Each structure stands twice: as structure tokens, then as C-alpha cells.
Structure 1
Amino acid sequence: MNTTHNLTSNATLCPRESSITEVVYPILYSLIFVISFMLNSLTIWIFFKIKRTHSFIFYLKNLVGADMLMTLTFPLKILSESDLAPWELTWFVCRFSAVVFYINMYASLMFLSLISLARCLKIVKPFGNYKLHDIMCARIFSAGVWLFMLTLGIPNMILTNKMATASNVKHCISLKSSLGVKWHKAVIYICTGIFFVGLLVLIVCYALISKEIHKSNKKFKSSANKNCKTNQNIASVVAVFFFCFVPYHLCRISFTTSQTDSKINCTAKNILYHGKEITLFLAACNGCLDPIIYFFLCKSFRELLLKKLNVKIKIAGTQISHNNTRSQVHP
């Protein structure tokens, strides 16, 4: 109980700069909400047109679902932080909406890792019979991702159960019970572990793919251009991952520690808070950038999109036209 009392006291003693929290962040999130909602709506529409059942497509569909659910939490965050809604909405964001955001953000991170692993096995061992390529196993892995994230997230909702007031809702941690604070910290460390595992998977997959492409280029000079394109496509996944998730996780643990340490002064707490919020915004940009990954990695998605947009373009040495594109093609 002392921990929770200290949190509440420190929350009261550390007001945040309203011009930034109530103006700058809502504007930034409004911009990415519009972009992310439009791109993910288009992506969902395209994926509904792709009827072929394939594990890679299945992972991509789960990824776009996670991105859209995360995007739908942005309006609540915007209204809450801009102070345009009653403080009860901020309580709802703290207890439910923010948890939904994090559940889907880390689900996205895990699906990116599964997608990278699936692509790596397809390129490095194209004739191997791996469970990751089996559609039934893809469904089991995907269900496992969602179940795992819900197991982490739902207790955070339940344990954010202290009485809310207009003053303490500005600091979500002050709404948690003492057990809720401990669970919150544990989840942060678990999710940080998920991030580092995902980062390792991406780095290893990219290294193996690059090595395989280098070997292929030595044997078959004619395929060098295509292999270079493949390498660039995988690199786009790594680039999005680094841009969105690395800065946030460098800040997150320090910020969480500051929330539960009464010895840290208000200046340091506010610096860490804004560092966390800025890098969290970069993580939220993942919803805008993932559709670009779909375009480069998924042939079915790319060709169907170009067909619907009536675009004629040359990609990886193959001319794609709305007249000769079929919706049922390999990914």
C-alpha cells in the first residue's frame, strides 16, 4: 500500500506541461489516425478479396487486424489528452483503451516476427516442410499470440480498480492497486522481452536471407536483380521494426522505473514521460507503415491493389497490368 500511496503523491506533485500534452500529442495522433485508418481499411478490403489460404497471408491478415484495432484506440487517446472530453473518458482510456492499444501493438510485433521467420524459411530452405508454413499451425500460432497478449492485458484492466477522480486520472499508474502496480511492471518486462526476441529473430532472418541471396548471385548472375529486390523487401520489415519499436523500448523501462521510484524528482519524471510519449508515437506509426510492407512482401496484395487502382507498373522485372492480373496468385 505504501508503494501505491507514493505513486499517488508523486503524481500530484508532478504536473505535466499542458501545452504539449493537450495540443501537440493530440495533433500528431490525429494525423496518424487518419492515415492509418485509411490505409488499413484499404488493406482489409484487399485482403478480403484474396481467397487463397496460405500461412503467410494468414499472418498478414492477423497483422492488419491488430493494426486496425490499435488505430481505433487513437480517437479516445486524442479526446482524453486534449481535455475535450469529461475526465471519465480518461479513466476509460487508462483502464481499457490503453491496454487494448498495447495488446495490439505487441501482437503486431509478434506477427512481424512470424512473417519474417516464414519468409526466411521460404527463401533459405524453399523445399523444406516446416510447420510454420502449414495453415493449421499458422492458425494455432496466431491464436497463441492473441491468447498470450490477452492473458497479459486483461489483469491490467481488472487491477486498475482504485477510485478515479478528475486529478488522479491524469496519471494512470495512480489508479492501480498495489498488486496492479506489480503486475504492470512485470508486464512491461515481459513485453520488453518479447521485443528483444522479435528483434533477434528479425536480425537473424535478415542475415540468413542476405547470405542466401549472396550465394545465389554468385551462382546465377541473371537473378541478381530479383535477389536484390527480395533483399530490399525484407530490409523494409527490419527498417519499420527499428523505426517504430527500438526507440520506445529504450525509453520504456526507465519511464516505468520513474513511476514507482519516489526518489526521482519531477523534472526527471517529466523528461522521461515526454521521451516515452514521443517514442510511443513512433511505435503507433507502425499502423501506417505496415501496409507498405504488405505491398512489397505480398505479391497477391500488390497485384490485386494495382488491379483495383488500374495501375500499370514494372516491379522486380515483371510488368503488372490491370488487364493481366489475377486475384488468385501465390504470395
Structure 2
Amino acid sequence: MAPPSSNSSDGGEQCIVNDQMGPFTVLYTLVFIISVPGNLLSVWIFIRSRRVKRSLSVYLLNLLLSDLLLLLALPFKILKDGGAAPWSLKVFHCQASAVTLYISLYASIAFLAFIITDCYLQDCTSLCSMRLQEHVQEQRFLSCSSLKKGISLHWHALTVVLCTALFLNASFSVLLSSFLALRRLLGNKDPLLRADSRRAAVSVTAVALAYIVGFVPYHVVRAPYTLTQTKVITECSVRRKLFLGKEATLLLSILHLCFDPLIFYYLHEPFRQTLRNMMPCWRKKRSEEEGKAAEEETAEGKAAVEQDLQSTLI
């Protein structure tokens, strides 16, 4: 069956690429529902955590802020893709919230790159205005690129190129820093630091893999998809496949909203300590450890006193 199409206002055939958004709407909704509690909890923990004047803390906090901005923009995309939004809200998404979504996404890419690079550098040093009233013909399936004409469409393509350049630079930094950090950590022969080195190596590897899985597929698809928006690629079947590929890989990129709280936990000691103090089981365990340490210290003190008395008697 041929893909659905409708006649455009100029008499040409219009290729509709976004008429199969039902599954994506469900998945985006799940991502939103799952990520909201973790990110709100992260906000609360950061507020309660002691302030640490380190670059890593600043990068983690900015990553959290970009995640919150992405969370604010995501419901508009869900409503627009699900067909539940009125026309004005669809246009608002294309001209405002979609821009916010991509700004947040690339901010997350940049700060994740900073975080991985900062972790490597630390290991090296210590080892350890929206035009809603514009007259645009209302359509059932709105493609955001259809709202851009002439210079706006070229500016969109240039923005994609610049963002891709940002991604490539960030990726180079991530890969180089991860490789150097792993080589240094795994090459450490000090038995006292070997366990810490393994733990740090696992953290660096996990963050780097999350970065690669989350952002590389999207940028592989994004470049050819942009060619369909600028009318370089005009074959309708190809445009539809690239659009679905873009949406699927964008969903993969937005999944980092669900996992960033884990990065905060593993990389930020005040965050980890505050979260543990909130949990009764951790508080009980900590009290038992402190009590045991106090008993051992008292026993050692008594033994030392007895030894001094014996020395004095002799």
C-alpha cells in the first residue's frame, strides 16, 4: 500500500511522514513518567546536600537543570505526536518547545562530556518570540519543517550542522578521556588502590557506554534526515523511513533522563551520602558501624592503658 499523501496548496503531492506516532507517544509517555520521580528526587537531594566547590559538582548540577528543561518540553511533544493537541499547541511545539527539547539534549551531551573529561583529569591528578498568529494552513499531520520557508529552512540545516559539530567534538573528548582513564586505572599495580581503580574504571566505562548508546545512533540518522527536510531527498518512502529512524533514535537519546540520577549517585559523594541518610536501613547500618568502631577504639584504648601500667610497674 502506498503511503498516505494529500494534495498541498500548490497542487503538488504532499508526503506525510508522521502518521505512525502512536507507539512513540506511548514510549515517550513512559519515559516521562519514569524519569520525573528520579529527577525530582535528585533536585531535592541536591538542595539538601552540602555544597562542594568542585567542577564536577557544577557539571552534575547543570546536567540536572538541562534534564529538567527537557522534562518540561517533553509533554508538548507527547501531545503533538499523539494528536491530542490543538493546532495552536502544535505550532507552539514546533516553534518553542521542540527548540527547548533539542537545546536541552545538546546541553546534556556537552555536560556529560565535561563530566567524563573531569573524571579523567581528577584521576590523573589524584588517582583516584513565537509566531502563533502566522497564517499557516491547518493540517492533520503537522511536520515542523513545513513551518519553515526559505532562510528559516536553511538556518535549520545550519543549526543541525553546528550541533553535529558540537556532538563530534564532545564525542572525541569522551572517547579520548575514557581511553586514557581506563588505561591509567587498569594499569595501576598498587594493591592498596586496586579496588578503587576497578570501581572508578567501571564508572568511567558505564558513563561512556551510556553516552555512546544514547547519542551516537541519533546523530547517525539525523544528518540524512535533515536532507529530507531541505528537500535534497524527496523520495517519500525514504523520507518516511528516515523520519521513523529519527524518532526512534531520539527516543533512545531522551532515555538518559531515566538514568542520569544513577550518574549523580555514583559520581557525587554528597548526593550519595544524603540519599543514604534518607533511608532507614542505611541509617541503622551506619549507626551499627559507628558503634562497632567506637567499641574497637575503646578496647584499643584500654589495652594501651593496661600496657602502660604494666610498663610502669616493671
Among 221, 227, 239, the residue aligned to 2:197: 227
Cα offset for 1:71? 1.1
1:122 aligns with 2:122: yes
Cα offset for 1:178? 1.1
Q: Is the contact between residue 186 and residue 201 of structure 2 (CA under 8 Å) also seen in structure 1?
A: no
Structure 1 169/225 Cα, relative in aligned 2: closer, same or farther at 3 Å? same
1:125-150 deviation line (CA, Å, top 9, x unaligned): 239xxxxxxxxxxxxxxxxxxxxxxx
Cα offset for 1:320? 7.1
Q: Is the contact between residue 32 and residue 285 of structure 1 (CA under 8 Å) also seen in structure 2?
A: yes
The structure with the larger Rg is 2
Structure 1 9/205 Cα, relative in aligned 2: closer, same or farther at 3 Å? farther
Q: CA RMSD, aligned part only?
A: 2.7
Indicate the residue corresponding to 1:25 in structure 2. Answer: 24
1:173-226 deviation line (CA, Å, top 9, x unaligned): 11113111111101101111111111111111111111211332x2x1232122
Indicate the residue corresponding to 1:13 in structure 2. Answer: 14
Indicate the residue corresponding to 1:209 in structure 2. Answer: 181
CA distance in 1, matches of 2:12, 2:224: 16
Give, as a single letter, the amino acid of the residue that structure 2 aligns with 1:247. P
Structure 1 80/300 Cα, relative in aligned 2: closer, same or farther at 3 Å? same
CA distance in 1, matches of 2:85, 2:145: 20
Structure 1 210/191 Cα, relative in aligned 2: closer, same or farther at 3 Å? same
Indicate the residue corresponding to 1:142 in structure 2. Answer: none
CA distance in 1, matches of 2:84, 2:175: 43
Indicate the residue corresponding to 2:273 in structure 1. Answer: 303
Cα offset for 1:235? 1.1
Indicate the residue corresponding to 1:166 in structure 2. Answer: 138
Q: Is the contact between residue 157 and residue 230 of structure 2 (CA under 8 Å) also seen in structure 1?
A: no
Cα offset for 1:101? 0.4
CA distance in 2, matches of 1:161, 1:178: 19
Cα offset for 1:305? 0.9
Indicate the residue corresponding to 2:68 in structure 1. Answer: 68
Indicate the residue corresponding to 2:41 in structure 1. Answer: 42
CA distance in 1, matches of 2:237, 2:168: 29
CA distance in 2, matches of 1:86, 1:50: 42
Give, as a single letter, the amino acid of the residue that structure 1 aligns with 2:239. K
Give, as a single letter, the amino acid of the residue that structure 2 aligns with 1:186. L
TM-score, scaled relative to structure 2: 0.82
Among 195, 218, 224, the residue aligned to 1:248: 218
Deviates most, 43-52 or 93-102 = 43-52
Q: Is the contact between residue 306 and residue 322 of structure 1 (CA under 8 Å) also seen in structure 2?
A: no
CA distance in 2, matches of 1:166, 1:41: 37
Give, as a single letter, the amino acid of the residue that structure 2 aligns with 1:41. L
Indicate the residue corresponding to 1:180 in structure 2. Answer: 152
SS at 1:73's partner residue? helix
Deviates most, 283-292 or 163-172 = 163-172
Structure 1 292/107 Cα, relative in aligned 2: closer, same or farther at 3 Å? same
Structure 1 162/260 Cα, relative in aligned 2: closer, same or farther at 3 Å? farther
CA distance in 2, matches of 1:116, 1:290: 13
Q: Is the contact between residue 124 and residue 208 of structure 1 (CA under 8 Å) also seen in structure 2?
A: no
**Number of residue pairs the alignment of both structures matches:** 281
Cα offset for 1:17? 5.8
CA distance in 2, matches of 1:320, 1:110: 38
TM-score, scaled relative to structure 1: 0.78
CA distance in 2, matches of 1:232, 1:203: 15
Cα offset for 1:166? 1.8
Q: Is the contact between residue 25 and residue 81 of structure 2 (CA under 8 Å) also seen in structure 1?
A: yes
* Percent identity of equivalent pairs: 29
Runs of 4+ with >4 A deviation: 7-12, 322-325
SS at 1:13's partner residue? strand
- After superposition, residues 96-107 of structure 1 pair within 5 angstroms as 96-107=96-107
Cα offset for 1:229? 0.6
Give, as a single letter, the amino acid of the residue that structure 1 aligns with 2:179. A
5+ long unaligned stretches in structure 2 = 1-7, 291-314
Cα offset for 1:310? 2.7
CA distance in 2, matches of 1:293, 1:10: 53
CA distance in 1, matches of 2:11, 2:209: 38
